[in-house]
């Protein structure tokens, strides 16, 4: 699988919210792309943002930091945030770090 196939962010507009589905690794290289992708959705409006991590395959400390920053940015912008949890191996990292208790995780795909 090429890097282009492995990593992507899809924007899914649904009535009442926008979802960003992250596929692949969330790491030093891709974390800035996630932060950049949320910015257009924070300007104006009040609809919540859904960050779908169900297709995330790996996360490092840069990715964890990006998730914290997404949470802070959406809170500062007065926007709701729901995070669709990742698969068990990545979810375990959130559990070990305690972020599963801080981030607004919700079951089910976006």
Structural domain boundaries in the chain = 3-101
pLDDT at position 5 is: 52
The answer to whether 33 touches 65, Cβ cutoff 8 Å, is no
Q: In CATH, what number does 3-101 get?
A: 3.30.750.24
pLDDT at position 65 is: 97
For the chain, 110 residues long, the average pLDDT of each consecutive 10-residue run is: 69 87 96 93 82 96 96 90 94 96 78
The answer to whether 91 touches 54, Cβ cutoff 8 Å, is no
For residue 107, count other CB atoms closer than 10 A to its CB: 7
Q: Write down the H helix ranges in 1-110.
A: 3-6, 31-42, 61-76, 88-97
The answer to whether 24 touches 57, Cβ cutoff 8 Å, is yes
């Amino acid at each position: 699988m090429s890097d282009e196939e492995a990593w992507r962010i899809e924007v899914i507009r649904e009535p009442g919210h926008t979802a960003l589905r992250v596929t692949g690794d969330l790491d030093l290289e891709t974390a800035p792309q996630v932060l950049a992708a949320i910015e257009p959705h924070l300007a104006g409006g009040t609809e919540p943002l859904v960050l779908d991590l169900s297709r995330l395959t790996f996360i490092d400390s840069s990715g964890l930091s990006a998730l914290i920053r997404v949470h802070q940015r959406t809170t500062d912008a007065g926007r709701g945030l729901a995070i669709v949890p990742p698969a068990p191996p990545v979810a375990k990292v959130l559990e070990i770090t305690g972020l599963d208790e801080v981030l607004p995780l919700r079951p089910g795909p976006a």
